[in-house]
Amino acid sequence: MDWKLALTTFGAVFVAELGDKTQLATLAFATSGRSRWAVFIGSACALVATSAIAVLAGEAIARAVPPSLLKRVAGVAFVAIGLWVLWSSREGG
């Protein structure tokens, strides 16, 4: 097991999910006063399922596209999205 990769992935996903709409939806379900364990188990299973889909899709894509190209495209996409968010907030506010 590549522990460095596992911890890096955990850190990136953890920070990305803080304050995310998924976390806010889970928070809203937990305020219902019903079983918080059911909310936790449901949200945890959903995150595991979506992560499994991403890993399988990433593995399939990596067979057809070189990983270095994927990293570059992902980097450009993140920068473009960041610039778009910054530009959008400037116009709206």
Per residue of the chain (93 residues), what is the pLDDT tens digit? 999 999 998 998 888 888 888 889 999 999 988 899 999 999 999 999 999 999 999 889 989 999 899 889 989 998 999 899 888 887 655
Q: Say if residues 39 and 30 touch (Cβ distance below 8 Å).
A: yes
Give the whole-angstrom CA distance, residue 37 versus residue 58. Answer: 31
For residue 37, the enclosing domain spans 3-92
Contact 70, 62 (CB under 8 A): yes
Q: Are 29 and 39 in contact (CB under 8 A)?
A: yes
* Torsion angle defined by CA atoms of residues 60, 65, 68 and 69, in that order, rounded to the nearest 10 degrees: -130
Our count of domains for the chain comes to 1
